[in-house]
Chains A and B, each alone.
Chain A
């Protein structure tokens, strides 16, 4: 660790001497070397692929390589700590998301302040789906609500440990229909893929996850996504929650970019502008579409407000749970 810090310090010092000459106009020639993008989970999942798509697009635009590095473990805390502690020169960035930022606001004894970082941009977002077994007899959101309200304690729902936006999509539904979340029979799972499989088999009555997690079992006819919380061009037949009469059920998950707290404004600006320029990029849109996501760029103050609002929503929903 020490050597790495020393190396980073040397690099930073060199960078300082270099920029010192042309610093008069407030411009930055960032980036002049490869950028390390820390991905807070293991390789291969849909979110990892999304972060990699973002890295690739960024590298094309910036003209410097953007190298994704997976640092998994400890519920994404390891990766966030790593980026927090890195030199704030813009060459170590975090592939951020709800799980590594706003959801962490709910955690006690976090080794850092959750919002003590530079939020640069949200790049893409995806929506969630409420899914039930094809044999459940439940066909619409109204059927679902009726079934939950009838006897919450015998209604089983997949729970991902409260570490995922999917869980808060579920809590949002329960709050909306005035069902006490503590009455539900929660069955724990570690990923939405497993949860969807259990829902399809009828082992749980309801599973909530990213729309893409329902794709295969939906096409095999075992699982019915009753409604989606936002647009997903891959699922034209699944109604929007808003169309079913529940516009408040609008939880999304996102992938974006952040950096250490004292990141230079000029560097953050370069990155934000670059990502804004990708809003209409067709290739990027196509790669995200395959992952069930849409390009949904948000930067600057708007993004800051979005982060705050999301954290507040999570805190409010989390308050409904006893432990």
Chain B
């Protein structure tokens, strides 16, 4: 295994390939920083260029673009509260409040460091595991996936600190919204009111940019006084305490992300939300939680989980050709174009090439860390630009991002609508994160449920993995309801008045 690594390293460490990696990191970061353009778009758009290179250089550049896109996405989320992709949502939830407190630098640095850690450990994990656990992926049929989705939905409990009822209602609303459009399974239109515009359905990126980016602008505009002033510029790098607080969440996020990432369907973005939920619950139990007001643990954990899951996903992808999400599907397409069919041979006959790929992830992570840390002061200064300059700029960025996701004008209106909706939710103190969670899990819930029932009317009795996940899900929900009820009477009063 070590010689594999060494061989891979030797392949990558040429001036030419390092140059492509650096270029890829720059291009990827550029795409990632633009809201609406994430790693997936970056790869899709830049992919044709890489086909002119030899396969390994092409993959090196793609890996760099992919990671650049992921790092860049967190930057926009932290600085201007626009999560350009679901995985950056925790970075917006906790990072943006930190920016307002003048801790943007710390948030950016911790995001980069924890992504980096998970990326490095994850790459090593893929090399060590090889194809040995790949067949785990085949154990996860529709019923098991259904169990996993139910389990993931329980994360709602940790996405809100207040009323569980409000959280679940928002998640249900998210599921409903995700169903609007053309239903591929039945071939009919759902909740479209007969218009073909709505048959496109809602895409998550414009909805999320609207909820958070536009929502924040509207909030600033409607609150008179101090909130429109620019954020102070505090100490740029993380304090000792902030770093110390990030260590454990990063370790947990990496481990959770990587192990769940081995399962197909467990998207890195879902893992980021799960990790956020778990870290928040843990912090609240221990006391001293700053969650919701900029807690560094809510950045460290999810950033690591996202990157860890992305790495774990390479095990089923490389050995069985099973993509665990859209970006993995894109990498699969890239491999096909290079004439490589994923399969067990990727770790035997093509081992050199595979270790080349994995080493290129390591290299991309190192380059991005070196690239991003010195950039932190520059980005952080952006947060000081006054609102009358920054506001219109962010608004334009949001709308352009919403349009670019599917090249659709409809999405611009969706984005604006979501922004207004977010403002109303804020006034009614309804949490938005569960809505996003429901939105991404909704289609999976629907699909796996239909599949499981079609496979067998009594699937829930036949599949032990499903039973385990469903059991844990029910217990978690029951426990959080019980905890919420016991918590305070004031909570109950708030619930009654809403």
Q: Residues of A at under 8 Å CB distance from B?
A: 1, 42-46, 48-49, 52, 56, 69-75, 77-78, 81, 107, 111, 156, 160-163, 185-190, 193, 197-198, 200-201, 203-204, 212, 215-222, 234, 287, 290-292
Q: Is B185 a contact partner of A73 (Cβ separation < 8 A)?
A: no
Closest 8 CB pairs of A and B: A216-B321, A43-B44, A219-B343, A73-B200, A44-B330, A74-B199, A203-B141, A188-B185
Q: Is A193 a contact partner of B336 (Cβ separation < 8 A)?
A: no
Binds A, one of B101-109, B354-362, B423-431, B447-455: B447-455
Q: Is B185 a contact partner of A190 (Cβ separation < 8 A)?
A: yes
Known A74-B181, A193-B323; contact A290-B336, beta-carbon cutoff 8 A? yes
For B44, the chain A residues whose CB sits under 8 A away are 43-44, 48, 70
Asked whether B89 is an interface residue with its Cβ less than 8 Å from the other chain, the reply is no
| Neighbour of B321 across the interface among A1, A52, A107, A215, CB < 8 A | A215
Task: Please give the distance in Å from A273's CB to the nearest CB on chain B.
Answer: 24
| Neighbour of A44 across the interface among B142, B187, B322, B329, CB < 8 A | B329
Q: Is B40 a contact partner of A287 (Cβ separation < 8 A)?
A: no
Task: Please give the distance in Å from A93's CB to the nearest CB on chain B.
Answer: 15
We find that the number of chain B residues with CB closer than 8 angstroms to chain A is: 55
In angstroms, Cα B184 to Cα A107, docked, is 12
Q: A-facing mask of B276-293, CB < 8 A → 1, else 0?
A: 000000000000000000
Task: Please give the distance in Å from A96's CB to the nearest CB on chain B.
Answer: 18
Q: Is A201 a contact partner of B185 (Cβ separation < 8 A)?
A: no
Known A44-B329, A188-B447, A190-B447; contact A220-B319, beta-carbon cutoff 8 A? yes
Q: Is B342 a contact partner of A216 (Cβ separation < 8 A)?
A: yes
Closest to A189 in B: B451
Known A44-B40, A156-B454; contact A222-B333, beta-carbon cutoff 8 A? no
In angstroms, Cα B455 to Cα A177, docked, is 23
Asked whether B406 is an interface residue with its Cβ less than 8 Å from the other chain, the reply is yes
For B186, the chain A residues whose CB sits under 8 A away are 161
Asked whether B201 is an interface residue with its Cβ less than 8 Å from the other chain, the reply is yes
Task: Please give the distance in Å from B329's CB to the nearest CB on chain A.
Answer: 5
For A111, the chain B residues whose CB sits under 8 A away are 196
Known A46-B336, A72-B406, A188-B447; contact A216-B322, beta-carbon cutoff 8 A? yes
Task: Please give the distance in Å from B271's CB to the nearest CB on chain A.
Answer: 20
In angstroms, Cα B332 to Cα A212, docked, is 11
Q: Is A74 a contact partner of B451 (Cβ separation < 8 A)?
A: no
Q: Is A201 a contact partner of B342 (Cβ separation < 8 A)?
A: no
Q: Is A216 a contact partner of B48 (Cβ separation < 8 A)?
A: no
Q: Is A216 a contact partner of B141 (Cβ separation < 8 A)?
A: no
Task: Please give the distance in Å from B197's CB to the nearest CB on chain A.
Answer: 8
Asked whether B320 is an interface residue with its Cβ less than 8 Å from the other chain, the reply is yes
List 18 other contacts, CB 8 Å, given A74-B199, A161-B184.
Answer: A43-B43, A45-B329, A46-B333, A46-B336, A71-B408, A75-B187, A75-B199, A78-B199, A163-B184, A190-B185, A198-B142, A201-B138, A204-B455, A215-B342, A216-B322, A234-B341, A290-B339, A291-B337
Task: Please give the distance in Å from A323's CB to the nearest CB on chain B.
Answer: 9
For this complex, 22 residue pairs linking A to B, each with C-beta atoms less than 8 Å apart, are A43-B41, A45-B333, A48-B333, A52-B48, A71-B406, A71-B407, A78-B196, A160-B184, A161-B184, A163-B184, A163-B187, A186-B454, A188-B450, A189-B451, A193-B329, A197-B264, A197-B322, A215-B341, A219-B344, A220-B320, A287-B337, A290-B339
For A70, the chain B residues whose CB sits under 8 A away are 44, 406-407
Asked whether B182 is an interface residue with its Cβ less than 8 Å from the other chain, the reply is yes
Q: Is A73 a contact partner of B184 (Cβ separation < 8 A)?
A: no
For B326, the chain A residues whose CB sits under 8 A away are 42, 44
Q: Is A220 a contact partner of B343 (Cβ separation < 8 A)?
A: yes
Q: Is B196 a contact partner of A291 (Cβ separation < 8 A)?
A: no
Asked whether B479 is an interface residue with its Cβ less than 8 Å from the other chain, the reply is no
For B181, the chain A residues whose CB sits under 8 A away are 73-74
Closest to B196 in A: A111
Closest to B140 in A: A201
For A220, the chain B residues whose CB sits under 8 A away are 134, 319-321, 343-344
Asked whether B169 is an interface residue with its Cβ less than 8 Å from the other chain, the reply is no
Task: Please give the distance in Å from A53's CB to the nearest CB on chain B.
Answer: 8
In angstroms, Cα B332 to Cα A45, docked, is 9
In angstroms, Cα B329 to Cα A49, docked, is 12
Asked whether B487 is an interface residue with its Cβ less than 8 Å from the other chain, the reply is no
Asked whether B345 is an interface residue with its Cβ less than 8 Å from the other chain, the reply is yes
For A72, the chain B residues whose CB sits under 8 A away are 406
Within 8 A of A (CB), among B422-462: 447, 450-451, 454-455
Closest to A1 in B: B409
For B485, the chain A residues whose CB sits under 8 A away are none
Closest to B317 in A: A216
Q: Is B187 a contact partner of A161 (Cβ separation < 8 A)?
A: yes
In angstroms, Cα B43 to Cα A189, docked, is 26
In angstroms, Cα B339 to Cα A49, docked, is 13
In angstroms, Cα B200 to Cα A52, docked, is 22
For A78, the chain B residues whose CB sits under 8 A away are 196, 199-200, 408
Known A163-B184, A187-B454; contact A73-B323, beta-carbon cutoff 8 A? no
In angstroms, Cα B321 to Cα A200, docked, is 12
Known A75-B184, A219-B344; contact A43-B196, beta-carbon cutoff 8 A? no
For A156, the chain B residues whose CB sits under 8 A away are 454-455
Asked whether B482 is an interface residue with its Cβ less than 8 Å from the other chain, the reply is no
In angstroms, Cα B45 to Cα A42, docked, is 12
For B447, the chain A residues whose CB sits under 8 A away are 188-190
Closest to A222 in B: B138
Q: Is B341 a contact partner of A216 (Cβ separation < 8 A)?
A: yes
Q: Is B336 a contact partner of A203 (Cβ separation < 8 A)?
A: no
| Neighbour of B322 across the interface among A42, A161, A193, A291, CB < 8 A | A193
Asked whether B139 is an interface residue with its Cβ less than 8 Å from the other chain, the reply is yes
Task: Please give the distance in Å from B254's CB to the nearest CB on chain A.
Answer: 26
Q: Is A219 a contact partner of B451 (Cβ separation < 8 A)?
A: no
Task: Please give the distance in Å from B455's CB to the nearest CB on chain A.
Answer: 6
Task: Please give the distance in Å from B239's CB to the nearest CB on chain A.
Answer: 41
